[in-house]
Structure 1
C-alpha cells in the first residue's frame, strides 16, 4: 500500500476515514530512537533552527514513541520581541510530511503552516523557512498541523516580549514561568482515532449506570432514550493519558522556584490534544492579566478552566513555602502537578481528585424539566424526538447521519465557568469577567452569521452545519476584506468545543461594552449553548477555522475562512 500523505489525510474524506487503519509505521515496530528530553530549552534571535525527529519519551510508568523538536518534548520555547523580523528554519527528519502552525500569531497566510490550506507542508528531508514580522506581544504556542502529530509531542511555547513594559503595579512581576499543559500517551494516535470511531466510550471508566445516583427517573429515561451518558465528558481520559506540565508528569516532581516576597508571572498554555484543564494553586490567588496573549483588566480568581489552545497569563504572590500547581482534567480522571516552591527540593502535596462532574439538561440545550412544566419521561420518547427535531435548523445546516442531536433551546452560556466549576465555593473565572484593557476601534456590524456545531457522538462524526470538512474548495466561509461580521456559534452537541480561527483576533461578545470586548483567537462554546464574537476580517488569505480538540478536527469539524480581496 503506498504511503498516504498528511495533506491528503486532511483534504480527503476517504483518507480521513482511512486514518484509523493505517499500517503500523516503522517506529512502532521497535525501531531505536533517541530519548527525548522532558521539558524544553529556549531559542531567540532573528534566525531560529528547528528540527523535527522521531524519539522515545518516558514519564512516570508510561513510555513510547514521540515526535520531538530539537530533541525535546515539548519542543523549545521560542522567545521573540515585538517589532523584530524572524526567520524560522524548520527541517523535517520524519518519514512523513510535517508542519508548524504559529498559533495566535498575526502573519502572512502563506506562513500560517496548515498543509493543504496555506502551504503544501514540509516533506521528509526538506527544510521550510517561515519569515514574517512580529506584530504583537504576549503568550502563544506552536504545533504541528499535519496528521495527528500534535498528540505525540510536536508542540511548544512562544513568548513575545513587549516593546512597552506595563508600569501598572498590579502587573509588576519579579520572575516568570511558562506553564505548558499537555498529555502523553504511548498509544498511537491513529489507534486512538480508531477506538473512538468504534465506540466513543472506549476511554471512559467513570460512566454512570441508568440506576446510579439521585437522578430522577424521568431524567434517567431521557438519557437512555438519547443513548447518552451524563458522564460522557471527555473523549480521551486518564485511562491512557499522563497529564504533563512542561513535559513532566506528576511523578517527575517538577519544581518552579521563587524567593519569598516575589511576584511570579505564570504564562499558562493549554497545548493538549483533547483535555480541558481546571487550574488552581490552593491557597494562592491568581490575578489574570492576559487572555490569548491580549491584555485584559486585572481580575483576581482562585481557579480557571482553560480550553484546548487557550492561554492565560496570571500574577501570583505566593507565601514562603511550597504550593501545588494543580491542572486537573475536566473529567477528573487525572491531573498535572508542579511545585511552586521557595525551598529547593520541597515538593508540595496536591489535593486529591475531586468528585466527577455530571452533565445536566442545560448541557443538552434545554431547560430543566420543572421549568418545562411536565415530566420529561411521560411522553414515550417525546424528549428524544425534541432533541432530534431538525425543523428549526437553518436551511444551510445539512441533516443526516452526521447530526444526531439538536439543542432545542440553546442559550448564551458565556457566564458559565466550565463543567464542574459552577458549584465550587471559591472565585472562578468566567468569560464575562474579561474586559479588554485597551479600547477597540468602534465599527458597526456589516453582517451577521450563524454557524452550528454539529456531531454524531455515537458514530464519532463532527462538523460545522452538519457538513464534514473534505477540502479547501468545498464552500469556504467567505468574508470581504475589512468586513465586520457578528458570528453566532450554536453548539447542538453535548460536548464543549474550543473553536479557533487562524490569522485573526475576534472580539468576544461577553457583556462588556463594545469598545472593551476582549480579544481572543480561541473560544470555548459550552454544551447546548451559544457564544458570539465580532470579527473584523482584516487579514487577507485562506485561514483554517476549526475545533481544537484534535480528534474532532480530524473527524471533520473544520472549515476554511477566505478573506478577499487582497488590499492593493
Structure 2
C-alpha cells in the first residue's frame, strides 16, 4: 500500500525532523535528482586512469530550503568514483574555495604522501591551486572520500568510492545502489562548534522532565537523584541532534523521497556509507532482512540481521531480496532518535511506503559510565563529577571507592599513561568489552541487530602472527569545556607521535572513559578486531567504541610514514581527539 507525498511529510513533521519546509518535488536542481545505480538515473560517476575534481562553494536545496554548501564537480554528495583493483589512478583536485582544502581517501591503502591530511601527509591544497594524487589501487570494496581541512566535511565535501575486484566478486547481486548517509545543518559548522564550546549539551532538546517522572518514563526518582548528584545527564547521547540537523540519503532530505528501484525477486546490493559529520545511524528497512556481506570494504561471511548500527565513517554492504511488488522505506535513524533520514526502495518511481514512528529516545545507564560491575548503590549524594558543573558525556566514576562510598572522579593510579589535564574529566572504573552489544538503545528492539562479534572475515587474515607488544589508549574528554583527547593529550603540532616499527604486530586496547561513543579511525591500515574469531577476525579501518567500553584490535604496521589516528566525530577531532601514528623502517631512529 502506497502513501501520498503529503502524508509522508506529515509523518516526518510529527517525528520532529528539521527543515521539511515546502517540498519542491516537481522541481529539483540538477544535483538533487534521484541517485541510483539501477533503473533510476545514475549519480555522476568518475572512472578511468585520469580523474579531475573541482572543489567549490555551492548553494544546496534540501527539502525546499536553500543554504550554503561545498561541492565537488557541482554535486553533494560528490560524484561516485568507480575504480578497479590493480589499476593506477591520477586524480587532479583543484581548489576553487577561498581557503585551503584537501581530499582524504578514506580506507584506501596508498603511499602516506597521498593520504590527504594537511600538516601530516602533505601541505594541503591552497586556493586556486591543483594537487595531483597518484596511487595504485591494491584493494576492492566500498569506501569514500572527504575533506580533512577545517570543518568542510560538514558542508558537503564527501563522496563515495567503489572499487571492483580484479577477479570474480564473491558477492552475487542483480543490482546495486549506493546509499550515502549524512547530516546537514543550515547553521555554519564553526557556529555549531562555538555553541558546543559554550555549552556541551546545547543541542540536547530532549532532557528528562518532571512530567516524564510523574508518568513513569525513563528513570525512577532514585535513579534521577543519583545522576543529579553526579551532575550527569543520561539523555545526552549526541552532541549535535535533530534540533540542528536534517538527515540525508544521497544528499536528499526526507521530503525528496530518493528512490532506488528493484524488480521483485532480485538480489539487491546496498553499499551503505556513513559520511555524516557527527551522526551514528541505526539502519533498517522494515519488512526486509539485511544480509551483511562486507564491512569497511572487506568481505565477511554473510550474516543476517534486521538492523545495524553504522557509526560515522564505516561502510557496510548488505543484500536485500524483496519479493513483493511494493515499496519499502529505507530508515537511517539517528542513534539518539532525534530524527531520521528516509528514502524508498521500490519497483517503480513515484512510490513510497509507510514511515515508522520514532522510537523512544535511549537513556544512558551505569554501564555507559564504565560501572557495569560496580555496586551502583554505593553512589551517594556526595558523588561529584570531576571539575564540577555539567558532566554530560565526559563523566564516569573512578575505580577507587572509599569505605564511605564516595568516589574520586579522577583517579590516575591505574592509568599512569593518562596525562592529568583538563581534557580528562573522569576515568571509567570498570570498562568492559562491549563488542557483543548492538549499540546504545538497541538492546530491546525486538529483532536481530548486528554486533561486531557477528562479523567474521570471509578469507583468512593476511597476518596471523601473535602481537609482539601491546598498548592501551584511553579516549578522554571534558564535556563542560568540550575538550576531547587521547590519554588526556589534545592534538597540536608539537604532540609527539605514537611510534611503531615497520611490520610490527601490535595489540591496541582502546578504553572509552567518556559517556559518548567514539568512532576511531586509523589511516593507511586495516586492523583485526579481537572478538574471538582467530585468523578470521573481521578487518576494519574504523571501530565504534561504546561509552564505558573497550575494544581490542591487532594491527600490522606495514605502511611507512606518518598517519592520522583520530575520532571521526568531526567536532571531537577538531577539539583535540587526534594523534599521529609514525611508522618507521627497522634500524632507523
Q: One fold, TM greater than 0.5?
A: yes
1:384-423 equivalent positions in 2, closer than 5 A: 386=407, 388-423=409-444
1:548 corresponding residue in structure 2: 568
Q: Report the counterpart of residue 534 of structure 1 in structure 2.
A: 554
Within 5 Å, which residues of 2 pair with 1:320-339?
320-339=325-344
Aligned ranges for residues 397-546 of structure 1 at < 5 Å?
397-440=418-461, 441-471=463-493, 473-513=494-534, 515-546=535-566
Q: Residues 270 and 567 (structure 1 numbering): CA distance in 2 closer, same or farther, change over 3 Å?
A: farther
Indicate if the aligned counterparts of 1:322 and 1:341 stay in contact, CA closer than 8 A.
yes
Q: Is the 8 A contact 2:295 2:316 kept in 1?
A: yes
1:244–1:336 CA contact under 8 A, matched in 2: yes
Matched, 1:144 2:147: yes
| Secondary structure, counterpart of 1:374 in structure 2 | helix
- Write the deviation string for residues 14-72 of structure 1: whole angstroms up to 9, x where unpaired: xxxxxxxxxxxxxxxxxxxx977226411100000000001111111432110010001
Task: Tell me, in whole angstroms, the C-alpha distance in 1 between the residues paired with 2:206 and 2:131.
Answer: 45
Deviates more, 1:203-212 or 1:497-506: 203-212
CA–CA distance in structure 2, aligned partners of residues 442 and 553 of structure 1:
32
Q: In structure 2, the residue corresponding to 1:523 is in which secondary structure?
A: strand
Aligned residues: 528
In structure 1, runs of 5+ residues without a counterpart are 1-33
Query: Over residues 332-374 of structure 1, what are the superposed CA-to-partner deviations in whole Å (9 max), with x where a residue is unaligned?
Result: 1111111100122111221111111110010000027xx6173
Maintained 8 Å contact 1:544/1:561: yes
Deviation at 1:221, TM superposition (A): 2.5
Q: TM-score, normalised by structure 1?
A: 0.90
Q: Aligned match of 2:83 in 76, 80, 83?
A: 80
Q: CA deviation at 1:197?
A: 0.2
1:177 is the counterpart of 2:177: yes
CA distance in 2, matches of 1:94, 1:567: 43
The aligned counterpart of 1:281 is 285
Contact residue 36 and residue 73 of structure 1 kept, 8 A? no
Which residue pairs with 1:221 in the alignment? Answer: 225
Structure 2, gaps ≥5 residues long = 1-27, 36-42, 386-396, 399-405
Q: Aligned partners of 1:197, 1:549: CA distance in 2, in Å?
A: 15
What is the alpha-carbon root mean square deviation over aligned residues? 1.9
Provide the residue aligned with 1:342 in structure 2: 347
CA distance in 1, matches of 2:383, 2:104: 50
Contact 2:229 2:381 in 1 (8 A): no
Q: C-alpha offsets along residues 198-250 of structure 1, whole Å, 9 cap, x if unaligned?
A: 00111111012477335244432332233221110010011111100000110
Give yes or no for the alignment of 1:260 onto 2:264.
Answer: yes
Deviant stretches of 4+, over 6 Å: none
Does 2:130 correspond to 1:109? no
Tell me the residue number matched to 1:192: 192
> What secondary structure, in the 3-state scheme, does the structure 1 residue paired with 2:377 have?
coil
Shift, 1:327, TM fit = 0.3
Residue 387 to residue 149, structure 1, CA distance change in 2 (3 Å)? farther
TM-score (norm 2): 0.87
Q: Deviations over 1:413-456 (max 9, x none)?
A: 11110111111111100000000111113212111000000000
